[in-house]
Amino acid sequence: MSEIKVIDKVFEPSITAAQIQKRVSELAVQINRDMVAQNPLFLAVLNGSFMFVADLYRHITIESEISFVKLASYDGTSSTGVVNEVIGLNKDIKGRNIVIVEDIIDTGFTMQQMLKTLAEHHPASIRICTLLQKPDKLQVPIKADYVAFNIPNLFVVGYGLDYDQQGRNLPAIYVLKED
């Protein structure tokens, strides 16, 4: 693997496609074991998680369902600033065992908002599965149950993650080259 350019920035290889596939199948094995007979509902957060969840869900062998949600960010009129609204939550999640599937947990604010919104619908349980997590950036007490990779506090693209909407198609993960 070599350096790539996305729009105006240079990125260098970070996690190979093979490493990703290995970890994704390992996480699926854990989930299959932990959630057997719970008929979990996988809730994938678009857009970033689309590639991760497609690969992960292929390895899920237990009885389960999948649905997709999106977080719409808009500037709130109040002083609280940006508000995230969960859209597409059209399945009844009451009493369900949920597995949220995310691309990355950075500060954790997005996930915190997600947990709060889902809790209002009274699921039986909520687990978090994330492809990436930046432990040094976490600002809220969130504990992901399944983490494929912990990464340093640097900007990454690929495997669903974008830089200005580009780069989501890359099968590996690349990190912004510091200059």
Dihedral angle of Cα 25, 29, 34, 37, to the nearest 10 degrees: 110
Interaction mask 47-66, ligand 5GP, x per CB under 6 A: -x------------------
> Which of these is catalytic: 34, 106, 145, 162?
106
Name the binder of 97 from Mg ion, ligand 5GP, none, CB < 5-8 A by kind.
none
Residue 55 interacting with Mg ion (CB under 5 A)? no
For 113, the enclosing helix (H) or strand (E) is helix 109-119
What the block records as the tokens of 5 is 């350019």
Count other Cβ atoms within 10 Å, centred on residue 79. Answer: 5
Name the binder of 55 from ligand 5GP, Mg ion, none, CB < 5-8 A by kind.
none
Beta-sheet strands, E only, within the chain: 4-6, 9-15, 41-46, 65-75, 82-87, 97-105, 125-133, 146-150, 156-157, 173-176
Query: Which one of 21-29, 79-87, 95-103, 163-171 is the stretch in contact with Mg ion (CB under 5 A)?
Result: 95-103
Residue 40 interacting with Mg ion (CB under 5 A)? no
Chain contacts with ligand 5GP (rule: CB under 6 A): 48, 103-111, 155-157, 161-162
Chain contacts with Mg ion (rule: CB under 5 A): 48, 103
